[in-house]
Amino acid sequence: MTNESVNSPARTFRVTLEGPDGVHEISAGADEHIWDAALAQGVELPAICHQGFCLTCAGQLLAPGEFDSSDCEQYFPEDREAGYILLCTSKAQSDLRIRTFAADNMRRHRVAHRLPAPYS
Ligand code: FES
């Protein structure tokens, strides 16, 4: 018996976004930028460059989690160690809980580590 629906389904994760307007739960595919997933589900987040460079879309993990930051133009090991995530160009690889609107904190973190901090 053949069954074309046997194809493995795209992995999808639950992403909880905590922002100034409350908590939003969205689903985000493993191959989908979290920012895009949020917008498609009615959650508007800040952004300027959409390239993982300007830090405007920054979030910070509130719990351990996995994400793919390989599409970010500029992202450093120190950013990951501190739990910062650039939502415009990062893809969930596990369920995530994230504080949004974290650009100011991420810029201060970059400056403290003598790393590039656009718009700081
Ligand atoms: S919008 Fe510029 S880094 Fe995400």
| Residue 1 included in any domain | no
Per-residue pLDDT at 3: 44
Residue 61's CATH number:
3.10.20.30
Q: What is the dihedral of CA 107, 108, 111, 116, to 10 degrees?
A: -10
pLDDT at 41 over 70: yes
Question: Which pLDDT score, from 0 to 100, does residue 97 have?
Answer: 98
Asked if residues 57 and 35 have their Cβ atoms less than 8 Å apart, the reply is yes
Which of 23, 89, 90, 98 is CA-nearest to residue 60?
98
Over residues 19-45, mean pLDDT? 98
Which of 74, 88, 107, 115, when mutated, tests ligand 1's pocket best, judged by the most ligand atoms within 8 Å of its CB?
88
Closest residue by Cα to atom 3, ligand 1, is 52
Domain count, the chain: 1
pLDDT tier, 69 (very low <50, low <70, confident <90, very high otherwise)? very high
Q: Report the share of the chain in percent with pLDDT over 90.
A: 91
What does the block give as tokens for 120?
């700081």
Contact 118, 53 (CB under 8 A): yes
CA of 7 relative to ligand 1 center, distance in Å = 34
Q: Are 17 and 100 in contact (CB under 8 A)?
A: yes
Domain that holds residue 16: 11-112
Ligand 1 pocket by C-beta < 6 Å: which residues? 47-50, 52-57, 86, 88
